[in-house]
Amino acid sequence: MKIGFIGLGNMGGPMAANLVKAGHDVTGFDVAGVTVEGARAAGTAAEAAAGADVVITMLPNGAILRAVATEVIPAMKKGAVFCDCSTVDVASARAVAADAEKAGLLAVDAPVSGGVTGAAAGTLTFMAGGSEAAFAVVQPLFDIMGQKAVHCGASGAGQAAKICNNMILGVTMIATCEAFALADKLGLDRQKMFDVVSTSSGYSWTMNAYCPAPGVGPKSPADNAYKPGFAAELMLKDLRLSQQAAEAADADTPMGELAARLYETFVESEDGKGMDFSAMLPRFEKRHRG
Catalytic residue among 21, 148, 162, 185: 162
For this structure, is 162 an active site residue? yes
- Cα 256 off chain centre by: 17
Catalytic residues: 162
